[in-house]
A and B are shown apart, each in its own frame.
Chain A
Amino acid sequence: MHEVAGTTPEGDFIINVGPQHPATHGVLHLVITLEGETIKKIEPHLGYIHRSIEKMCESLTYRQFIYVTSRMDYLSAHINNHACALCVEKGLQVEVPLRAQYIRVMMDELTRIASHELWWGALAMDVGAFTPFFYAFRERETINEIMEETCGARLTMNYMVPGGVMADIHPQFQQKVNFFIALYKKKIEEYNELVTGNIIFQNRMKGVGFLSAENAISYGCSGPVARASGVACDVRKRYPYDVYEQVQFEEVIETGGDSFARYLVRIREMEQSVHIIEQLIDNIPEGDFQAKTKAVLKLPKGEFYQRVETARGELGVYIVSEGGTTPYRIKFRSPGFSNLSALNEMAKGGKIGDLVATMGTLDLVIPDIDR
C-alpha cells in the first residue's frame, strides 16, 4: 500500500477522497493516485461504519434480527427485511398467504422506486445540478407517506415478519398508490427534460466509467450495474420469489456498460416497478396478511440461503442454524461491496469529474458495504 498522504515515487499525486467528502455519500474513503487530473488508481478503504451486524444477528432471535437488516442498505430496507423473512420461512417451511405476498412485492417495488428517486437526485447533485434533488425528494415523499401510513415508519419500517407482513395495508393504501403512479407518470417527463436529455449531463455520462460484461461478472457485480453491461442477472426473473413469477415485467438490460447505460437502466427500472405495482394494486386477494407461526421460532439444523433483488443488486442471506432460536452464523452478500470493487476498473484513466459521475451511477450506500 502507498503511503496515505503525499506523492508516489513516480511523482504522482495521492489524494484522499473521504471519509468526509461530499461525493462519497457517506464514510467511504478512497485513496486516489492522480497524474494531473487523470486517475491512475483507486483504492477504496472501508470500515468507517462497520457495526458488525452479522455478529449482532447471532445473538438475536429469528424474529428480532430482521429489524437490524434495515440498517444495512437503508434505502431498500423493505427488501432487506424481505430477504431475511424469506430465508427464515424457507427454514420453517411456512406457506405465506397470497395477500401477504402481494403486499410484500408492492412494498418492495415502492421501495425500489423511492431508492432510485433518491439516487437520481443525488447523481444530479454529484454532477453539479442541485435542483433535481428537490424534485426527486418531492416524489419520494409521496412514497414515504404511503410507507408511514401502512408500516408506521418512513425509512426503517420493519414491516416484513416471518410468515407475512406485520400489519394489514392501510384502507387508503390503494388509493394513495394509484395517486402516486399517476403523479410519477407526469413527473418522469420533467426528469427527462431536466436531466436525461440535457447535453451537459449526457456528455458527463456517456463513455465514462466503462465496465465490460466480463469484468462485471468477474467482479461479481449485480443489479443495475451488471445489467448496464449486458449481464442478465435480475433475481426477480432468474430465481423468482413470492409473486414475481406471476407479474409481467421486463428485465431492463443495456449494453453500453458506461455511466449513461447505468443511468438508463435505473430510469427504466423505475418504469418497470411502476408497471409491476399497476398489475398488483387493484387485484390484492382477500385473506390473511400473516401465516400462523409459533411464538418462538426455531429453524431446523442446516443451512439456508435466499437471494433477492434490492435496488442495488443481489442481496443474499445465508443462515446457518444449529436448531436453536438464534442463528449460529449469518452472512449477508451485499450488492454494494462487489459493485464498489469494480470502481478501480471503471474510473481508471478518467478525470476526477468522471470518478464522481461513475460513483454516482454505482449508487453506493456505505452501510450496505460495511455492515
Chain B
Amino acid sequence: MISLEALKNEVQNWLQLHVGSTMALIAESVLLGILVIALFAVLGLLLVFMERKVSAVMQIRLGPNRVGPKGWLQTSADTLKLMLKEGLTPDGADKFLFNLAPFIIMIAAMLIMVPVAFARNFQIWDINIGVLYISSVASISVIAILMAGWSSNNKYSLLGAMRSGAQIISYELSAGIAVITMIILTGSLSVNDIIASQENGWWIFKGHIPAIIAFVIFMIAVTAETNRAPFDLAEAESELTAGFHTEYSGMKFALFFLAEYINIFIVCAVAAILFFGGWMPFHIGHWQAFNHIMDYIPSSIWFFGKTFFLIGLIMWFRWTFPRLRIDQLLNLEWKYLLPISLLNMLLMTIVAILKWYL
C-alpha cells in the first residue's frame, strides 16, 4: 500500500545515496518549498470551490456548474482571471507597505504549515513546541491586515483593519487557553506527541465534557481569528464594502483571499490534531476486527477527512449566522469565552490530576 511515509523515505534514501547529505538537505528544502506552494494552490482552489458548492446547496442554488465538468474548473478560471488582472496601487497609498502586506499574510500562512502532521511520520519539522509555534506564527497575520488597512489610505480599510486587530488579539486568548486545556492532558507541545497520546481514543471522547467545551471554544475562537463570518467584521461587505482589502485587486487580492482559506485549513488541521487525533484512525475499545479495518485506511485520508469535516463546520457557521457588531464581538470574548475557557481549564486540570481520561 502506498503511503506518504514510504514515499518520503524513498525520496530521502535516494537523495542520501546519490547527492550526499548536505546537498540532500538543500534539495529536500527546495522540494518542500515547492510542495507547500503546490499544496497551497490546490487547497485554495479546492476550498473556494467547496465553499461555493456548500453555500449553494444551503441556499437552494446549484452553485458553479458551467466551467468544466460540474463546475470543477470554475476556481481555476477565476484564479487565471485574477492573475491576468492589473494589480492597482492607489495614488495615496504607502506603496511599499501596500505591496508588502499580501506577501506577509501569505508567508505567515506558509510558516504555520511546518509542524502540521499530514500523515503518519509525514511532517515538515517535528518541532517540540509545535502547538505554541502555530499560535505564535498565526498572529503574524494581524500585522499584515493592519498594514494593508493602514497603507491603503482608505477609511473603510482602516476601520476594517482596526476591527481586525482588536478581534484577533482578543480571540487569540481563548484559542490559546483552549489549546492549553488540551496540553494539560497530553503533557507535550509537540504535534507528534499529541497525536501519539490519542492512540487509544481521541481526546474529544476521552476528555469528557471539558474537552467538548474546549473544542467548541476553540472552533469559535479560530473562526474569529480567521475573520470568517459571523466574525467577518474586518471585511463586513455590507458595512465596509470589503474592509481591509477594499483597495486590492488582481493577484494581490487573490493572496489575501487565498490566505484566508489556507488559514481555515490550518486551524481546522490544528483542531483535528488536538481533538480528533490528527491522522490517528478511529478505534473502538477492544473491537479488534473493526480497529484493524480502520487501520487499513491510509493515515493521510484520516487527517484530511477530519480536517475537511471541520472546515465544513466552519462553512456551515458562515452561511447560517448574521454578523456580530464590534462591541458584541469583544463582549462575547471577554465576558463569555474567556471566563468559560478559564473555568474549563480548571476543570480539565482536575480531570488530569484524577486521571479520569484513561
Contacts and interface: CB of A to CB of B under 8 A. Distances in A.
**So, do A and B actually touch in the complex, CB under 8 Å?**
yes
Interface of A: 13, 15, 21-23, 37, 124-131, 133-135, 138, 194-195, 198, 200-201, 203-204, 351-356
A195 B328 CA distance: 17
B222 to A, nearest CB: 18
Nearest to B58: A131
13 contacts: A127-B323, A128-B232, A128-B236, A128-B321, A131-B319, A131-B320, A200-B321, A200-B324, A203-B324, A204-B322, A351-B327, A353-B323, A354-B325
A129 B326 CA distance: 16
Interface of B: 55, 58-61, 155-156, 159, 163, 229-230, 232-233, 236-241, 319-328
Q: Looking at A21, A125, A353, A354, which has the most chain B CB atoms within 10 Å of its CB?
A: A353
A22 B237 contact: yes
Nearest to A135: B60
Contacts of B240: 352
B238 to A, nearest CB: 5
B325 A351 contact: yes
Contacts of A22: 237-238, 241
B167 to A, nearest CB: 13
B321 A134 contact: no
A356 B59 CA distance: 23
Given A23-B238, A127-B322, 7 more contacts: A128-B230, A130-B55, A130-B319, A134-B59, A203-B328, A204-B328, A351-B327
Given A128-B323, A131-B319, A204-B322, A352 B239 contact: yes
A138 B60 contact: yes
Closest 3 CB pairs of A and B: A128-B323, A353-B325, A134-B59
Contacts of A135: 59-60
Contacts of A351: 325-327
B325 A194 contact: no
A128 B228 CA distance: 11
B272 to A, nearest CB: 26
A304 to B, nearest CB: 42
B56 to A, nearest CB: 9
Contacts of B163: 37
B98 to A, nearest CB: 20
A352 to B, nearest CB: 5
